[in-house]
Structure 1
Amino acid sequence: MFRFQRPEPNLVRVSAARFISRAGGEAAFFVGIWGKASYDLNSTPGQLALLMGVMGVMALLGTTIGGLLVDRFDPKKVMLYGEIAFVPSAIAPMFADTMGQMTLSIAVLSLFSMIVYTSVASFPPYLTDDDEKLKGINGALESAGNLAFVAGPAIGALIVKFGEIDQIFLFDAVTSLVAAALVLKVSLRDLHADVDLATEGYSKLSAFQEIKEGFKFSYSTRTIRLFITTTAATWVAFGAFGAVEPLYFRDVLDVGPETLGWVNTIFGLGMISGSVLLVKMPERFMTARSVVVGVSLSGLCAVLYAGTADVRVVALGAIVWGAVLGVLFPMSRTLMQRATPDGMYGRVTGTVNVHAHIGELLPLTFVPALAAVVGVQAVLVGAGLVLFALSLTRYREANRVDALLPVTHAETIEEAHLTPEDEPISPVV
């Protein structure tokens, strides 16, 4: 007889906090920030680009600080106090009357939001020391975040329809307080009681030295170095899309802004399906090779998405691309966490996120000018092809990294074709 397995309470609380907090953030970003800047404050393209650039720089700082704080304390404390500290910065854009004021308020908002994001991304290894459960926890948190990616902009649209755009920022602040309340009762593994020898004495270091140690460890560890490069390459492609994608919808597809919203919703649904698929995925596929294959597929999906003038093909590309990324991101994060010693999770997560944000910012320096020469669609298709080509250079390194995986994981791979009991496992739902 089928018996329902009750979800683990800590995972439920963290996943709910992740969903609620990100739903508020996505509503604030897609509708609140872009909407107020573009429509209420009549921003120019240059002013909007400056706003996005400032957000990116502050996100770099926030994720670095967040990683340091997680290792000094733990993700629960950082998320709890980070969400509370975020509230004033979430409300501040309500009172911005100029683009200068808006940019300044969003800079502070971006700083605190990335501190919170880094703490959430660091939770899984604090909830379990079991490799199989770690995969499930990452998949669950990814699903919660992806669901918020779908729900947040829709909630923001409803607030604008029945209220005022500034009320979205108030909604963002309230969701942060709810998320803080949800993590209050979360219990964590004590990783600071028995820190790995590689990080022993880290608490005696200065803040700058701790951050430096995080980067040094990440660069010197072959496994993590691979995931840094693959993640950064993926975000470079995203940065190209972020710079000119609205123009692709306007000039190539010849559709209105509502279509951009619907396609993003479809993309989010694809990401949800991908993260659910990861939880069901057999352990033998949890390899560095799979991550590189995912990056290759991401490049091809970008070409499918942007290489057409038919919005139906774009929608198909969106859901397939979303599904690929829904598997790729939590898989990469899980493997990275498996290769990271206790006491280093926050700083390693912060290091990876820093490179992701640098990758996303880089195209802002040249993509608009390139699009003016070769066209928006050519730039987007080119971004996908470049990502695919770069991924091909990482397959040999991925094979070497797979040989360095933990013993228990390596045994699982070696016995995958010999063990009849090898079935997809959903460790924690």
Structure 2
Amino acid sequence: MKLLSTPTRRIVAISFFCMLAFQATYFVGVIGCATYTLGADAAGVSALVFLLNVVLVAGNLASGPLIDSAGPRRTLLAVCAATSVLGLAVWLAPVSYPGLVAAAMALGFSFGMSTTAIDAYPRYFSEDAGELARMNSLNQVATGASVVVGPALAGWVTTWAPVQCVFAILALAPLPAVALVWATREELTAARGEGAGCGAGAPGAGGEAPTQDAVPGLFVEGDATPAPDGRAGVRGFLSDAAEGVRLVFGRSELRVLFFIGFLGFFVYGAFDSLESLFYRDVLRVGADWMGWLSAASGVGVVVGSLLVLRIPKQRLSTRLLAAILALVGVGSMIYTGTPIVAVAAVGQVICGIGFGALAPVRTTLTQQRCEPGNVGRVSSVMRMGMNSAGTLPLLVSPALAAAFGPQAVLFGASTLAALIGLAFALRGDE
């Protein structure tokens, strides 16, 4: 097929099908089954989401060494095949809470590994920075499309079949990805192998360890020589991590960006465990609406991301970022403020636009406000803040929901985000 005739096109399609499998089954499938089929409360849903998030990070960490040794192609072949088997098993097995726990953890692990492999795949086809940027950008387009199509497809399935049947998508969506991965061999593997082989410059051959220069744009085996003392390596890692924290919290302009990002993802994390209860108990709609409204949010995310491209560079500022956070809060207030589905849909679109704009503006400002030698450590601290923000609400949201109700908690979190965003906006730029 001409449509899939190049590695770039195939990798983009692989990204779409892998993300489609996750987006269609995470919210509507895992959380939907827990809420609608098993009648789980906030604590039960929170536990599922918390375990999935923790194991997802483990999948990210575990996939790195595997990709470096076996390559992204073999890694994705194994992960996609295993994901398809997982979907078939959950689809056909009786629904139970322990089964959903196991499914959520397996789904999180496979998603963590597949996304890391997809991120690495373009580096095996090009050394040109422009081509790599193009491939990565197209992968993001595929991801955005899956956020719209996945929940909408899952919502359609639940209109005529039990919620559990959503896992059929998890079984079927990875199959085209397997075929595409099989046809997409890494073009730079041979050159990489030569650079890491047993020639004069290879480790163990009496020469210097090969470096990144052996294959421009790729790291090869041996480019990171272990420290003579393992304890010194641990101390060095901890020292670098502490330096990143010091850089972020020691400079007010970076500290503000950290807290704006933290609060934005905090609202998103608070929704994960209570949103399905809001659908069931307040909006009083079926599980299919979990898909429809999520798709509406996905449309907003695409719109928000595209709008950022039209903002002049000189207008990118902390004040703009804070205003976007306020927009996320206002959209969430509209989304959770009434029992009317049409109003919730409008709120989802507005909230999606805000989240779609929040991430690229924050990332750009972070890169502009730290030196090139510090951007890695600063970025890692920013990412740590966002990831913890999405997980921390899961520890307290069940108790708050029991005391005040899911809608009150969601609306309160939304209002807080809007007010804090407004406060930062009025404070002005650093």
Q: Same fold (TM over 0.5)?
A: yes
Cα 1:307/1:152, change in 2 over 3 Å: same
Q: Indicate if the aligned counterparts of 2:28 and 2:291 stay in contact, CA closer than 8 A.
A: no
Q: Indicate if the aligned counterparts of 1:60 and 1:353 stay in contact, CA closer than 8 A.
A: no
1:150 corresponding residue in structure 2: 148
Query: What percent identity do the matched residue pairs reach?
Result: 22
Structure 2 CA distance for aligned equivalents of residues 183 and 398 of structure 1 = 49
Amino acid at match of 1:91: V
Structure 2 CA distance for aligned equivalents of residues 177 and 290 of structure 1 = 42
Matches within 5 A, 1:33-72: 33-37=30-34, 46-65=43-62, 69=65
Q: Which shifted more, 295-304 or 162-171?
A: 162-171
**Residue ranges of structure 1 left out of the alignment (5+ in a row):** 1-8, 401-429
1:358 corresponding residue in structure 2: 388
Find 1:117's aligned residue among 115, 118, 128.
Answer: 115
How far the C-alpha of 1:19 sits from its partner, in A, is: 1.9
Q: Which shifted more, 309-318 or 232-241?
A: 309-318
Q: What TM-score, normalized to structure 2? A: 0.70
Find 1:379's aligned residue among 399, 402, 409.
Answer: 409
Does residue 363 of structure 2 align to residue 325 of structure 1?
no
How far the C-alpha of 1:138 sits from its partner, in A, is: 6.5
Q: Indicate if the aligned counterparts of 2:50 and 2:391 stay in contact, CA closer than 8 A.
A: yes
Structure 1 CA distance for aligned equivalents of residues 426 and 371 of structure 2 = 22
Find 2:18's aligned residue among 18, 21, 24.
Answer: 21
Structure 2 CA distance for aligned equivalents of residues 13 and 60 of structure 1 = 26
Cα 1:291/1:41, change in 2 over 3 Å: same
Find 2:226's aligned residue among 188, 204, 212.
Answer: 204
Matches within 5 A, 1:157-168: 157=155, 161=160, 165=165, 166-168=167-169
Cα 1:261/1:28, change in 2 over 3 Å: closer
How far the C-alpha of 1:293 sits from its partner, in A, is: 3.0
Number of residue equivalences? 387
How far the C-alpha of 1:22 sits from its partner, in A, is: 0.5
Alignment deviations for residues 368-424 of structure 1 (CA, whole Å, 9 cap, x no partner): 222233333321121122223444566699944xxxxxxxxxxxxxxxxxxxxxxxx
Does residue 92 of structure 2 align to residue 81 of structure 1?
no
Alignment deviations for residues 341-368 of structure 1 (CA, whole Å, 9 cap, x no partner): 59986x8776655443322221122222
Structure 2 CA distance for aligned equivalents of residues 375 and 44 of structure 1 = 11
Please provide the CA RMSD for this pair: 4.8
Amino acid at match of 2:354: V
How far the C-alpha of 1:148 sits from its partner, in A, is: 0.3
How far the C-alpha of 1:255 sits from its partner, in A, is: 3.3
Amino acid at match of 2:226: K
Alignment deviations for residues 255-296 of structure 1 (CA, whole Å, 9 cap, x no partner): 333333222221111111222223344333444544333223
Cα 1:37/1:240, change in 2 over 3 Å: closer
Find 1:230's aligned residue among 260, 264, 276.
Answer: 260
2:245 corresponding residue in structure 1: 219
SS in 1 for 2:212: coil
1:192 corresponding residue in structure 2: 212
Alignment deviations for residues 90-109 of structure 1 (CA, whole Å, 9 cap, x no partner): 52351555432442343233
Cα 1:298/1:35, change in 2 over 3 Å: closer
Alignment deviations for residues 137-160 of structure 1 (CA, whole Å, 9 cap, x no partner): 776444321210111123345566
How far the C-alpha of 1:315 sits from its partner, in A, is: 1.7
Cα 1:34/1:396, change in 2 over 3 Å: closer
Q: Indicate if the aligned counterparts of 2:367 and 2:375 stay in contact, CA closer than 8 A.
A: no
Amino acid at match of 2:114: V
Q: Which shifted more, 92-101 or 108-117?
A: 92-101
Structure 2 CA distance for aligned equivalents of residues 386 and 340 of structure 1 = 33
Q: Indicate if the aligned counterparts of 2:28 and 2:287 stay in contact, CA closer than 8 A.
A: no
Amino acid at match of 1:60: V
Q: Indicate if the aligned counterparts of 2:83 and 2:171 stay in contact, CA closer than 8 A.
A: no
Q: What TM-score, normalized to structure 1? A: 0.70
Amino acid at match of 1:171: L
Q: Indicate if the aligned counterparts of 1:291 and 1:331 stay in contact, CA closer than 8 A.
A: yes
Amino acid at match of 2:86: A
Q: Indicate if the aligned counterparts of 1:118 and 1:349 stay in contact, CA closer than 8 A.
A: no
How far the C-alpha of 1:230 sits from its partner, in A, is: 3.1
Q: Which shifted more, 260-269 or 348-357?
A: 348-357
Structure 2 CA distance for aligned equivalents of residues 348 and 115 of structure 1 = 24
Does residue 171 of structure 2 align to residue 170 of structure 1?
yes
1:5 corresponding residue in structure 2: none
Alignment deviations for residues 21-74 of structure 1 (CA, whole Å, 9 cap, x no partner): 1111112223443455556667666544332221122123334455x659x949
Does residue 305 of structure 2 align to residue 275 of structure 1?
yes
SS in 2 for 1:366: helix
Alignment deviations for residues 184-203 of structure 1 (CA, whole Å, 9 cap, x no partner): 45879x993389xxxx9755
Amino acid at match of 1:360: G
Report 1 or 2 for greater relative contact order, CA contacts < 8 Å, sequence distance ≥ 6.
Answer: 1
Cα 1:77/1:372, change in 2 over 3 Å: same
Q: Indicate if the aligned counterparts of 1:226 and 1:397 stay in contact, CA closer than 8 A.
A: no
Structure 2 CA distance for aligned equivalents of residues 52 and 137 of structure 1 = 31
1:239 corresponding residue in structure 2: 269
Cα 1:315/1:101, change in 2 over 3 Å: closer
SS in 2 for 1:309: coil
How far the C-alpha of 1:235 sits from its partner, in A, is: 1.8
